[in-house]
Structure 1
Amino acid sequence: MNILNQSFDTPHDTAPFSKINITDYVPAFDAAIAETRQEIDAIVQLKEEPNFENTIAALSFSGMQLDRISNIFFNLHSAETNDELDKIANEVAPKLAELGNDITLNFPLFEKIKQVYDKMDSLDLTEEQKTLLTKNYRDFVRNGALLPEDKKQTLRDIDSELSVLKLKFGEHVLADNNAFQMLITNPDELEGLPEGTIEAAKEMATEACLEGWLFTLDYPSYIPFVTYAKNRERRKEITLAAGKKAYQQNDNNNEEIVLKIVNLRHQRAQLLGYASHAHFVLEERMGQDPAQVTKFLNDLLAKGKPAAEKEFKELSEFAKELDGLENLEKWDGSYYTEKLKQQRFNLEDEKLKPYFQLEKVLAGAFEIAHRLYGLNFNEVHNIDKYHPDVQTFEVKDDAGELVAIFYADFFPRKGKRNGAWMTSFKSQYQKAGKDERPHVSIVCNFTKPTASKPSLLTFNEVLTLFHEFGHALHGMLANTVYPTLSGTSVFWDFVELPSQIMENWCYEEEALKLFAKHYETGETIPMEYVEKIKESAAFMEGMATVRQISFGLLDMGWHGQDPSSIQDIKAFEVEKFASTSLYPDVQDNAMSPSFSHIFNGGYSSGYYSYKWAEVLDADAFDYFKQKGIFNKEVADKFKENILSKGGTAHPMKLYKQFRGQEPSVDALLKRAGLI
């Protein structure tokens, strides 16, 4: 019997990673897909008149076993992959796409949903039930339920092809990322690099049986190098390599895949009656439509561009004065920004890192969650892990009731993709009188402890940890009936509010005192550093804002119009970046071929949502600041109206219930020093 198709005999129904064989996945997927089809058939063949329970609720609770298997498999495919898992992913992705289409294009099922939907006003439904019913009806219409048979088949073909293209896109980016290694054998070329970075590079070289210091495009290696290495040629070498990912003449080139993806997405949208992919996506976003989003981005650009140009001029003059540099290039930006920041604030990351020991930062995040939301995190060792680096926690409320299981996976390794993310192995939902609690995970890529030092974080990495932990709280505190509306199952441009608001506590003295303690002496971070952290928060914020806006505008460029006339990715990017570019262009670099957020993640037509969520988080945290950053009344309102509600109501309604008003952009502009 396949372990993945059984109920797990484990603490809290957690995933039995160590007992899963790689050969279990494909048969488990096949069995769970077949079971899901039976569940759907049972709804369709029911003789009774369709009602909310036998149709809508039944649909929401169908495919639960498949969801569990998918969550386990695809989370490992991101965090602990290998060639065999890649092969399996390519094999099961089209099967899952086909099942998804078989459900959403199942006309008899849609007719039953429509019958319930048409009499919604006469039914005695809760707000959550009305939301679920509307969402189900709209999902079917948005997935072609009203299309004639021949067009339904076209839609299936497009979805199947897209699922494989997206996987290939991600595999190519990872392959190019892993293929690059920069070995340094001359110690003079290490000048400026922090001791910890040099030590980690030495260990990496030793592991690879090489003499010297090894640097890669993985963030814990790449970011410190471009930020601190004095050797400009080496900075240029690694920066150009990062900008060439999946944009080289090799088997990993993604140019054709990008064009295929955007054209297929456009065809799909047109087939469903939408002007573009962005029109299709934004119908279910707070951003509403491409014109609104572009206006939002351009309004912010108008406020941010003058500051960005002033900052760029200042940075260029500083680099010229310091090193006689005539032209500031992309490989100079991080280096001179850090130098100027040190000169202005005397606050280099290396001075701060000893105060940000990973274990203490994590304990600080836990303590803040306790003060705000009454959560207690206890590390346990009886829960199975997929890698020895992973930590597992039981999360309980003050009454001792289980709230969630929490996994934390912090260090880079081969087979783990770059960046940081939150995910879940099991959703929260309520069924048969039982509240099933969620299993939530955060995955990051922080510097590993070495023989002489624990894992010490840069301040940016502290922000990353708090950001992902904010997503995790959204998942953990979920309190909904239906799994499809639970936790982070919200509009994409709302999902970043819980994560981004958590970053604000990292700038507050009251919060920093809880965890920013020197790893050797135990001394609390000096308050002059805290003041400088706050002052430096808006440092170069004009440039950072314009950079984010540029990605949002590129995304809208790809998805907000008919892309069929675009032949040359590089020329298209140059055009789209015209209003936002500050640095000279690098001819053999392009962003789109490795822009995983929009081509392999869920952010197509949604990249603007980072800035949108900043507006929300600045406005929301402003409310905390007015009342006190640990104010229980505000925290309870945030927990009840935002964190626990998932997608059970329109996000603007939830936000207004929390805040008492719509969000204002002023708090963000003020925080960023742009007004």
Structure 2
Amino acid sequence: MSTNPLLDFSDLPRFAEIRPEHVTPALDALLPAAQAAVDAVATGSGRTWAEVVEPLNEPLERLSRAWGLVGHLQAVVDTPELRAAYNDNLPRVTEFYTNLNADLRLFERYKVIAADAGYAALSAERKTVVEHALRDFRLGGAELAGEKRERFAAIAARLAEISQKFSEHLLDATNAWSLLITDATELRGLPQDALDAAAEAAKEDGKTGYKLTLHIPSYLPVMQYCENRSLRETVYRAYVTRASELADPAQDNSALMVEILALRDEQAKLLGYPHHAALSLVPKMAQSAEQVIEFVRDMARRAKPYAEKDMAEIRDFGRAALGIADVQAWDVAFISEKLRLARYSYSDTEVKQYFTEPQVMDGLFKVISTLFDVQIEQVDGPVWHSDVRLYRFARKGEPLAHVYVDNYARNGKRGGAWMDVCRVRRQLAAQLQTPVAYVNCNFASPVGGKPALLTHDDVITLFHEYGHALHHLLTQVNEPGADMRAVEWDAIELPSQFMENFCWEWDVVRGMTRHVDSGEPLPRELFDKMLAAKNFQAGMQSVRQMEFALFDMRLHSEAPAASAAAVQQVIDEVRAEVAVVTPPAFNRFQHSFSHIFAGGYSAGYYSYKWAEVMSADAFSLFEETGTLNPDTGRKFRDEVLAVGATRPAAESFRAFRGRDPQPDALLRHYGMLEAA
């Protein structure tokens, strides 16, 4: 066993032992080993899979796993020391992968494999690996030479650096802001569990009172429930100006946004594409930026009449029932919650008491077990924080996979919710290496000895991330490069959005609820109210997604914005076209839009809605055959989850559904079929 835990690949990661000082020595060993393997293959005369691809699998996977652990820890338990170790090594890791993706010698080896007589006999997954490698070499600049090649590499290094900086600024800005409230009357309307959490946060700081932060479990209850309008405005202003020129200058993302857009555009042009969007769409299902923009505008057109009706109701109710004549952005969530309570006679707080985290996890695992024929049990293993739990998936006693679950928000942890890959499935000489995933959320922690309580939106988020995880955990693909990570980006949300549908099925919800005090399951009457309210403000939610998607695609398909003001102008124009809520002039949403500036969604945010058309249509087969029908579940597992990228996503959908996707199911789910 290696003394450096990052170099131990024998089993699950030794999280409890990993320290910042392990990072550089690990990469000192792994990078040269990977480069030596690349050089040996690239300078050789290999013509076959066994001669070209197999010698690279082990050293490249070891590097990927070790660096993936560092990146994961930096996202969930960030410290100044770990951040420094990550940033110190980011340039050389980026340089390695940039050179690998642009290695003309290796590109030639893969072309030889594809031209070899034995290529036809390769399995579908191995052919996928070769085809994707050839495509990615071209997109990685392998055919560039001289100054263009050097410039391409420099851009890749700089983009890695400043995308990481964008993410750090947002995390630091979120962590830095807090507000201590000493007079409880200022928080009138806040649910008891939110008050308890705020009191506990203050106590942890050695103070008396209530500590508000910009982490979602603190921010959202203030916006939804706090009757103090002035306080709502204060918290809203802090949230929407994070990482902008209107807050701490040291965390301002303005210049980074502009530089990221310019470099992406330059990189695309070096490869012969007119803009970043065209380059980004090469490995996606959508054919062009124009096609995406038309899709987004079409969905927005369908949704906008409903959104306008939603907003009119908010203004009318705010004026008539709450005395708010001039509805502002910090009033919308508050009025909406009051309106929902008046119309459907229930609140999120009431529902939340039934969704205790242990019961929700049990319900989620029951759905997975029933549909996909797996057994799930919690097991012991090293973890990075006491909040984290580890689960093992098995079938008929045979281990299938493991998943780490990190559900609670805390300082030092990136906001949002995401799934990531820890280890891939591979057939090794002696045994099968099973896949391992992380599922990370930012729910409110347990308070006062009681289990954590989840909102119904939290439950939907959990099911969503598990859809991504299942795509990885239930794969039958044994070759890195053909697994779910290689699925077209605009289809990658299919399993995640598919899983969300179960959160609205009584047979599922009944089994995953238990009141935190009485232990009673959610009453059917309350569920029916939730169901009646399911499409409450669906129009507004839809146009908001379209606002983000159109903003993203315009930013990346037009001349790059030359200033932060130009970025602001684009989002202002998009809002004028599709939105029904115009935020105040100080809103700097784009400065925290990490999906497109620090994540993988640049010129790809539309994929949420694109994939949602497929996910709703896929779920409609379960509606026809039975929500928890094991046969339909096995078919979805075998035709969608298990095959990874071994065939185009459209073919996998057709294999499951028997036809191409149709939008009617999604429009029906949203209650917007008539407008279509």
TM-score, normalised with respect to structure 1: 0.97
- Greater shift, 592-601 or 105-114, is seen at 105-114
Q: What is the CA-CA distance between 1:8 and the residue it aligns to? A: 4.3
| AA in 1 matched with 2:304 | K
CA distance, structure 2, for counterparts of residue 586 and residue 38 of structure 1: 55
Whether the 8 Å CA contact 2:174–2:242 is kept in 1: the answer is: yes
The aligned counterpart of 1:159 is 156
Distance between the aligned counterparts of 1:488 and 1:517, measured in 2?
36
Q: Which runs of 5+ in 2 are unaligned?
A: none
Root-mean-square deviation (CA, aligned residues, Å) is 1.6
Number of aligned residue pairs = 669
Q: List aligned pairs for 1:66-85, cutoff 5 A.
A: 66-85=63-82
Mapped pair 1:555 → 2:556:
no
2:4 is matched with which residue? 3
Q: How far did 1:669 drift?
A: 0.7
| Structure 1 position 109 matched with structure 2 position 96 | no
- What does residue 14 of structure 2 align with? 16
Aligned partner of 2:168 among 167, 171, 180: 171
Aligned pair in 2 of structure 1 residues 120, 605: CA closer, same or farther (>3 Å)?
A: farther
Residues in 1 aligned to 2:181 and 2:58: alpha-carbon distance in whole angstroms: 55
CA separation in 1, counterparts of 2:464 and 2:164?
26
> Is 2:221 the counterpart of 1:224?
yes
Counterparts of 1:211-250 in structure 2, within 5 Å, are 211-249=208-246, 250=249
By how many angstroms is 1:302 displaced? 0.8
| Partner Cα distance (1:502, 1:636) in 2 | 14
In the TM superposition, what whole-angstrom CA distance separates every residue of 1:605-653 from its partner, at most 9, and x where no partner exists?
1111111121111101111100001112211111001111111111111
Deviations 1:453-504 (A, max 9, x none): 3211111111111111111111110111212222343211111111111111
Shift in Å, 1:452:
4.7
Describe how 1:116-155 pairs up with structure 2 within 5 A: 116-119=113-116, 123-155=120-152
Q: Say which SS state the counterpart of residue 576 (structure 2) adopts.
A: coil
Closer, same or farther: CA 433–639 of 1 in aligned 2, 3 Å? farther
2:448 aligns with 451
Uncovered stretches (5+) of structure 1, i.e. residues with no partner: none
Aligned residue identity for 1:124: A
Quick one: distance in 1 between partners of 2:594 and 2:364? 28
1:632 pairs with 630, 633, 640, which one? 630
Against the structure 1 CA distance between its residues 527 and 488, is the aligned structure 2 distance closer, same or farther, given a 3 Å change threshold?
farther
- The amino acid of 1:268's aligned partner reads Q
Once residues 270 and 485 of structure 2 are traced to their aligned partners in structure 1, the CA distance between those partners, rounded to angstroms, is 29
Structure 1 residue 4 displacement after superposition:
3.8
1:394–1:404 Cα contact (<8 Å) kept: yes
Paired with 2:405 and 2:6, the residues of 1 have a C-alpha distance of 26
Secondary structure at 1:485 match in 2: coil
CA distance in 2, matches of 1:56, 1:660: 35
Partner of 1:666: 664
- Displacement of 1:112 in angstroms is 1.2
Q: 1:5 to 1:518 in 2, by over 3 A?
A: closer
- CA apart distance, 1:567: 5.5
AA aligned opposite 1:396: A
Q: Among the aligned pairs, what percent are the same residue?
A: 34
What is the rounded CA distance, in whole Å, between the counterparts of 1:591 and 1:118 in structure 2? Answer: 49
1:29 counterpart = 2:27: yes
Match of 2:349 in 1: 350
Residues 39-58 of structure 1 correspond to what in structure 2 (within 5 A)?
39-47=37-45, 49-58=46-55
Q: Does 1:318 align with 2:324?
A: no
Q: 1:565 to 1:21 in 2, by over 3 A?
A: closer
- Tell me by how many angstroms 1:448 deviates: 1.2
- CA change 1:362–1:407 in 2 (3 A) is same
- Counterpart secondary structure, 2:359: helix
Aligned partners of 1:52 and 1:340: how far apart in 2?
62
Q: List aligned pairs for 1:356-505, cutoff 5 A.
A: 356-381=355-380, 383-397=381-395, 399-432=396-429, 434-505=431-502
Q: Give the counterpart letter for 2:648 in structure 1.
A: H
Question: Cα gap change, 1:564/1:503 in structure 2, threshold over 3 Å: closer, same or farther?
Answer: closer
Give the alignment partner of residue 611 of structure 2, picking from 602, 613, 634. 613
Once the 2 structures are TM-superposed, how far is the Cα of residue 186 of structure 1 from its aligned partner?
1.7
Quote the Cα distance in structure 2 between the aligned partners of 1:393 and 1:92. 31
Residue in 1 that maps onto 2:277:
278
Q: Tell me the secondary structure at the aligned position of residue 484 of structure 1.
A: coil
- Give 1:597 shift: 0.5
- Native 8 Å contact 1:8 1:16 kept in 2: no
Q: Secondary structure at the match of 1:445?
A: strand
**C-alpha distance in 2, partners of 1:521/1:246?**
44
Q: Aligned letter for 1:18?
A: A
Asked if 2 retains the 8 angstrom alpha-carbon contact of 1:5 and 1:31, the reply is no
Contact map agreement 2:439 2:469 (CA 8 A) in 1: yes
Amino acid at match of 1:65: R
Provide the secondary structure at the position in 1 that maps to 2:170: helix
Partners of 1:198 and 1:213 within 8 A in 2: yes
Cα displacement (A) at 1:570: 2.2
